[in-house]
Amino acid sequence: MVERIDFYILSTPETISFTCRLLEKAYKEKHRIYVQTNSKAEALKLNDSLWTFKDISFVPHRLQDMTAAPIAPITIGVEEGDPNLANVLVSALPKLPKNYQAYQRIALVIANDEAQKAEARDLYKKLKASEITLQVHNL
């Protein structure tokens, strides 16, 4: 059951570097994370960036379609789902997947894009009446 949803509203259209930092923090807190991206290209870019965003960090991860890859604390994909029994969902989409109740925490990373911000505002309004704790971070 979802306990908390964080809306990270970025001041830039680029979301990858922030997402890398967020994933590193969640990994260090021993969470299992599923990252839902907008596209295969974005998933590949995030995959590459996690190897290079810091010289001294290692954030173990895998792409969702890497069937031969061992399970990792972080799985990156495009489809809705929970391939690694994650307790945290990080999403580049300003909406919730059908199975959102499977996660304890959800982080929505919203680019500085008016359409995305409008969708995020609508979602926030819908969720405000729920018992889920909502946090907005303007970055």
Per-residue pLDDT, averaged over 43-67, amounts to 81
How does residue 60 score in pLDDT terms, banded at 50, 70 and 90? confident
Say whether 113 sits in a helix, a strand or coil.
coil
CATH assignment of 4-138? Answer: 3.40.50.10110
By C-alpha distance, which of 33, 85, 38, 78 is closest to 60?
Answer: 33
Q: Does residue 26 surpass a pLDDT of 80? A: yes
* Residue 6: its H or E element: strand 4-9
How far is 133 from 139, CA to CA, in rounded Å? 19
Question: What residues does each domain of the chain span?
Answer: 4-138
Q: Encode pLDDT of 81-95 as tens digits.
A: 766 678 999 998 888
Structure tokens at 67: 């069937």
Residue 4 makes CB contacts below 8 A (sequence gap 6+) with 104, 105, 106, 132, 133, 134, 135
